[in-house]
Amino acid sequence: MTRWPMVVLALALAGAAGAQNVKITPLGTHAGELCDRDRATLFEDPTGVRILYDAGASVTGSDDPRLGAVHVVLLSHAHGDHMGDQRLKGQGAGTCARPELVSAAPHSTTAEIAAAKNSALLMMIPMASFLGRKVENIRGKPAPACPQTGGALVAPLAEPCLAGVHIGGAQRVRTADAGSAVEITAVTAAHESTVSRSLLSDPERKSLEPDNVSLTLGPSGGYVIRFTNGLVVYLSGDTGLHAEMKSIVADYHKANLMMLNLGPNAVTMHSAAYAVNEFVRPAAVIASHPNEAATAGGKVREGSRMAAFVAGVTGRPVHMALSGRTMEFDGGAKCVAGCQ
């Protein structure tokens, strides 16, 4: 009996395992840095499903060459810095602390990208309806509900479509030749979801102005994405500390990688670190949405709020979401390439 077949099998498995990484690429305003307005992040499953999370204002729009194929556009809430009421004027425009942005009205970067890339708009139903109308305005025909095949959306899609969810609801997405699907579940965020008035039609905007009130598009949310290699990513969205981080995200979903938004009007660096250490307890953290120039030369700036957050996290690595740097994670949330 030769032992070669076992060796060949082992090598084949090792090769397959090597390819089973999820690629995560932040699309920020300044290459190699984590900057004030950075939100947009691309996720690519080993099967090829590509998900854009919170397009926001750190992309130039649907023509941004960093985007490539986008099968799913995820949106956490309606705030302009996430839906994209503004766009980046050009790669590296302005400074890391104050990037140069221009209006993306009337459509938003999210609607433009979904329209151009034939993406599923996966988000709370009121936001999907709102952006679906914008996609219709861009393309001249309504965006239908996304077709389901065997309980999943099959990427690439033939046209932009609506995949609405409520908190707790899930959508599954797979590529045509893949045996398994990526599962995306909406989870709670402690935040609100008012839409920028610049994205409203004239009559709607004028009706809100006298009382200085805003329109809310359903609840704000986060997401848990279960990738086909076993990686379970928790996207916090903008949120304060809340108990479901522990009960739903950690205990039920067993998220092992957390992408945390660090906007200071929702969390202190102390409560953010507490969410990581005590509630979610992931194997690793990606820091995003810093609302400051968090890095200089790709390193955390001394004296920054980010530095205080990193100092407060114990027992797991904190990876900076550096623009344009692709990080690769295995099923256990170990960064196997592209992290510092």
Q: Which of 30, 71, 79, 134 lies at the binding interface for Zn ion (CB under 5 A)?
A: 79
Q: Which is nearer to Zn ion, 112 or 238 (CB)?
A: 238
**Choices 72-80, 86-94, 129-137, 327-335; region in contact with Zn ion by CB under 5 A:** 72-80
Let me know: does 256 contact 285? Beta carbons within 8 Å. no
Q: Which is nearer to Zn ion, 195 or 333 (CB)?
A: 195
Measured from the CB of residue 266, what is the shortest distance to Zn ion in angstroms?
Answer: 7
Q: Which is nearer to Zn ion, 228 or 288 (CB)?
A: 288
Residue 21: which residues within 8 A CB-CB, separation 6 or more? 46, 229, 328, 329, 330, 336, 337
Let me know: does 142 contact 93? Beta carbons within 8 Å. no
Selection from 189, 193, 286 nearest residue 242 by Cα: 189
Measured from the CB of residue 220, what is the shortest distance to Zn ion in angstroms?
Answer: 7
Q: Is 174 in the site for Zn ion (CB under 5 A)?
A: no
Q: Which of 33, 81, 112, 328 lies at the binding interface for Zn ion (CB under 5 A)?
A: 81
Let me know: does 310 contact 318? Beta carbons within 8 Å. yes
Q: Which is nearer to Zn ion, 232 or 320 (CB)?
A: 320
Measured from the CB of residue 289, what is the shortest distance to Zn ion in angstroms?
Answer: 6
Measured from the CB of residue 222, what is the shortest distance to Zn ion in angstroms?
Answer: 11
List, as one string, the DSSP characters of 181-216.
Answer: -EEEEEEE-SS--BPPGGGS-HHHHHHHGGGT---B
The encoded tokens of residue 167 equal: 């908190």
**Choices 9-17, 40-48, 57-65, 232-240; region in contact with Zn ion by CB under 5 A:** 232-240
- What number of CA atoms fall less than 13 Å from residue 16's CA on the CB side? 9
Estimate the crossing angle of helix 125-139 against helix 109-117, to 10 degrees.
Answer: 60
**Choices 25-33, 79-87, 114-122, 137-145; region in contact with Zn ion by CB under 5 A:** 79-87
Q: Which is nearer to Zn ion, 76 or 185 (CB)?
A: 76
Measured from the CB of residue 214, what is the shortest distance to Zn ion in angstroms?
Answer: 12
Let me know: does 124 contact 194? Beta carbons within 8 Å. no
**Choices 80-88, 139-147, 224-232, 327-335; region in contact with Zn ion by CB under 5 A:** 80-88
**Choices 27-35, 78-86, 106-114, 297-305; region in contact with Zn ion by CB under 5 A:** 78-86
DSSP 301: P
Measured from the CB of residue 238, what is the shortest distance to Zn ion in angstroms?
Answer: 4
**Choices 81-89, 166-174, 194-202, 241-249; region in contact with Zn ion by CB under 5 A:** 81-89
List, as one string, the DSSP characters of 125-189.
Answer: HHHHHHHHHHHHHHHSSPPPBPP-BTTBEEESPSS-EEEEE-TT-EEEEEETT-SS-EEEEEEE-
Q: Which of 44, 238, 244, 328 lies at the binding interface for Zn ion (CB under 5 A)?
A: 238
Measured from the CB of residue 261, what is the shortest distance to Zn ion in angstroms?
Answer: 6
Q: Which is nearer to Zn ion, 223 or 329 (CB)?
A: 223
Q: Give the Cα separation of 135 and 337 in Å (integer).
A: 36
Residue 222: which residues within 8 A CB-CB, separation 6 or more? 76, 186, 187, 188, 189, 234, 235, 236, 237, 239, 249
Let me know: does 86 contact 103? Beta carbons within 8 Å. yes
Q: Which is nearer to Zn ion, 147 or 264 (CB)?
A: 264
Query: Is there a cis peptide before residue 282, judged by omega within 30 degrees of 0?
Result: no
Measured from the CB of residue 285, what is the shortest distance to Zn ion in angstroms?
Answer: 18
Residues that bind Zn ion (CB under 5 A): 79, 81, 238
